[in-house]
Amino acid sequence: MSIVAFDFDGTLSDSEMTVLLGEQRSVADEMAAITERAMNDEIDYATSLRERAALLEGLSVADAQQAFDAVYLREGSADLITALRDAGVHVAILTGGFERGVERALERENVTVDTIVANRLPVENGELTGTVEGPLIEGTKDDALDDLVRELDITGDTIAVGDGANDLPMLEFAASAIGYEPKPAVEPACDVTVSSMAELQELLTARDILSV
């Protein structure tokens, strides 16, 4: 069995979950600025995530759900996920973003993946607390991918697809690192880069991960 581990925001999705949440709280510009600094490796990811979560303190669950409802898969993502799973590939999403947004985007396209590793925004009295919890705050994506490989006893290809600085650990861990329009700080770690899901599907077919 092979495994393909995807980042979500900026890779499988062209939505930016924290910015969508920030729009509900009128702090989208501040969110985007923090995200950009993190993706370019100017501040560490854990710090950036906590700063963004803090801006959401007091956001109602209903407003947060509106943001998650606006998260969409990138064109071609659903078809690629389906093709990979039909080929017997284990498909994982490893994201510092939030479970509910990932789940909503997949539900809309009626597709499923094998594993989701994501963070959560705690709620108290119907509002976000301004904190964040989950395995990918201090934890890194290489550890998450390593855990999956060991748990599943993966003996085939280990492929990671991402775009930002927090994807670097899994890109460096994987046997094959694919950058999806990667940030400048990330591109040197990529074996190859792509700019569409169709291009990625062609690449995986050429590598015999997918059949023609």
157-205 pLDDT, tens digit per residue, is 999 999 998 899 999 999 999 999 999 989 999 999 999 999 999 999 9
Residue pair 101/68 in contact (Cβ under 8 Å)? The answer is yes
What mean pLDDT comes out for the span 36-47?
A: 85
What mean pLDDT comes out for the span 51-57?
A: 95
Residue 5 reports pLDDT greater than 90? yes
Respond yes or no: is residue 147 known to be catalytic.
no
C-alpha 121/C-alpha 175 separation (Å) is 32
pLDDT of residue 115: 98
Respond yes or no: is residue 9 known to be catalytic.
yes
Of 43-52, 111-120, 169-178, minimum mean pLDDT range = 43-52
Task: Give the three-class secondary structure for 136.
Answer: coil
pLDDT of residue 212: 65
pLDDT of residue 19: 87
Given 9, 142, 163, 167, which residue is catalytic? 9
What mean pLDDT comes out for the span 109-127?
A: 97
C-alpha 78/C-alpha 124 separation (Å) is 34
Residue 16 reports pLDDT greater than 90? no
DSSP letter, residue 175? S
Residue pair 144/170 in contact (Cβ under 8 Å)? The answer is yes
DSSP letter, residue 167? G
pLDDT of residue 39: 77
CA dihedral over 52, 141, 4, 203, signed as positive or negative: positive
Kindly compute the dihedral angle of the four CA atoms of residues 26, 27, 32, 34, in this order, to the nearest 10 degrees: -170
Residue of 74, 83, 80, 88 lying closest to 154 (CA atoms): 88
Residue of 68, 57, 62 lying closest to 26 (CA atoms): 57
C-alpha 84/C-alpha 175 separation (Å) is 17
Residue pair 180/163 in contact (Cβ under 8 Å)? The answer is yes
The mean pLDDT of the chain is: 95
185 against 212, higher pLDDT = 185
Share of the chain above pLDDT 90, in %: 85
